A = this chain, B = another copy of it.
Amino acid sequence: MATTSWTRRHVLSLSDFSVAEYDIVLRTAASFREVLSRRTKKVPTLQGRVVTNLFFEPSTRTRSSFELAAKRLSADTLNFAPGSSSLTKGETILDTAKTYLAMGTDIMVIRHREAGVPHAIAREMDRLGTNVGVLNAGDGQHEHPSQALLDLFTICRYLDRENPHTALLQGKKVAIVGDILHSRVARSNIWSLTESGADVHLAAPPTLLPKLFREAMGQKHPDRLHLHWSIEPALEDADFVMTLRLQRERMTANLLPSLREYHQQFGITRDRLQRCQPNVQVLHPGPVNRGVELSSDLMDDPALSLIQTQVTSGVAVRMALLYLMGGGRNS
């Protein structure tokens, strides 16, 4: 695999990723996606290396995906479980990370409910002169790079199964619908999609999509980021519709009326998709609240939904990231 221009030790944010870097991830993931379709889905790339999942915020789905990706690469995995941890004993997060460093961790996959924790750990690892790579698996409402990269891979592979690459996104319209304000998935996707050349249209109630959001996220490509406070203009001629998970907590915070009202105004249905391109595809990072973000029948329709494909892409993309961060080189 060509990893010639890959120079990152850490994957913390997509805000400064280049088109060339996206294309390396897509190309590498494509080759691992091919491995996954074999009967024996393992490669010895990371044999003897240690990948530690430090999930301060629990998540079965994302942790399983990383764990499986690491095992497919023949790495040993350690899982840090916050419940039974030293955290309750007063240890700092950096000290926890340094303990796993001292045990021999090569790559740390970190999720934390506060923005910036993976960055702080990465800085500490660099300061100490280690070779450890840090991967942000979701920090607060900030970023979730591996999710956005698997979304990018899913979309590009849908457009060209043999050769997924960013140029395919030129002129494509992608709608992102839902709780934009609180979504790390949305933020990472905005960086990757606009940089790759897509037109991104955000749609949400004003409480979940403040005007200021445009300034924060549209600096690099202002012409490719569009805000809407109703769903119709966002869906108009869209090629892809990304729905975001709605946190039930938002309601208690008075940011939303009822789930039913939300679904009536912003829920994705077969009817609403009529406004989109004929081949429109729906994505969702999961887990889905059926009947809230999108209608149940839509989710299960393989002609319209890429949701299952996203999960499979997730393993391939995470293999690619661990491989690239591990300094892998096959060719």
Determine whether the beta carbon of A103 is less than 8 Å from that of B68: yes
Contacts of A89 in B (CB 8 A): 245, 287
| Nearest CB on B from A29, distance (A) | 14
Most chain B CB inside 10 Å of its own CB: which residue of A81, A85, A99? A99
Q: A104-B315, A308-B98 are in contact. Are A287 and B48 (CB under 8 A)?
A: no
Chain B: minimal CB distance from A131 (Å)? 10
Roughly how many angstroms separate A99 CA and B96 CA in the complex, as a whole number?
Answer: 30
Q: Does A258 contact B (CB under 8 A)?
A: no
A286 to B90, CA, bound (A): 11
A267–B37 Cα distance when bound, in Å, is: 54
Q: A64-B80, A80-B64, A287-B90 are in contact. Are A48 and B39 (CB under 8 A)?
A: yes
Given contacts A103-B311, A288-B95, contact A60 B41 (CB under 8 A): no
Chain A residues touching B, range: 35 or more
A90 with B289: in contact, given A61-B99, A68-B104 (CB under 8 Å)?
yes
The answer to whether B314 and A65 touch across the interface, beta carbons within 8 angstroms, is no
- The residues in A between 28 and 49 inclusive whose CB is less than 8 angstroms from any CB of B are 36, 38-42, 47-49
Tell me the complex Cα distance, A42–B36, Å: 24
**Closest-CB distance, A14 to chain B (whole angstroms):** 23
- Which residue on B lies nearest to A78, using beta carbons? B64
Closest to A81 in B: B60
* A327–chain B nearest beta-carbon distance, Å: 10
Contacting B at CB under 8 A, from A265-316, are 286-290, 308-312, 314-315
Specify which chain B residues have a CB less than 8 angstroms from the CB of A90 in the assembled complex. Answer: 248, 287, 289
Q: Which of A53-96 contact B (CB under 8 A)?
A: 58-61, 64-65, 67-68, 71-72, 76, 78, 80-81, 83-86, 89-92, 95-96
Interchain CB contact under 8 A, B286 and A91: yes
Selected contact of A103 from candidates B58, B64, B103, CB within 8 Å? B64
A311 to B102, CA, bound (A): 6
How far, in angstroms, from A248 to B102 measured CA to CA in the complex? 26
A84-B59, A86-B60, A89-B287 as given contacts; A50 in contact with B68, CB under 8 Å: yes
Tell me the smallest distance from the CB of A185 to a CB of chain B, in Å. Answer: 14
Contact of A58 among B61, B84, B98 (CB under 8 A): B84
Give Cα A91–Cα B104 distance, bound, in whole angstroms: 36
Is A86 a contact of B248 with CB atoms below 8 Å? no
Given the complex, which residues of B lie within 8 Å of A64, measured CB to CB?
A: 78, 80, 100, 103
**Quick check: A102 and B68 within 8 Å, CB to CB?**
no
Other-chain contact of A95, B49, B65, B287, B310 (Cβ < 8 Å): B287
| Residues on B with beta carbons closer than 8 Å to the beta carbon of A48 | 38-42
Return chain B residues, CB-CB under 8 Å to A40.
47-49
Distance in angstroms between the alpha carbons of A100 and B317 in the assembled complex: 16
Beta-carbon contacts under 8 Å, A157-183 to B: none
Show 12 A/B contacts (Cβ-Cβ < 8 Å), sorted by A: A36-B104, A40-B49, A42-B48, A58-B84, A60-B84, A60-B86, A64-B78, A67-B78, A68-B103, A68-B104, A92-B290, A104-B312
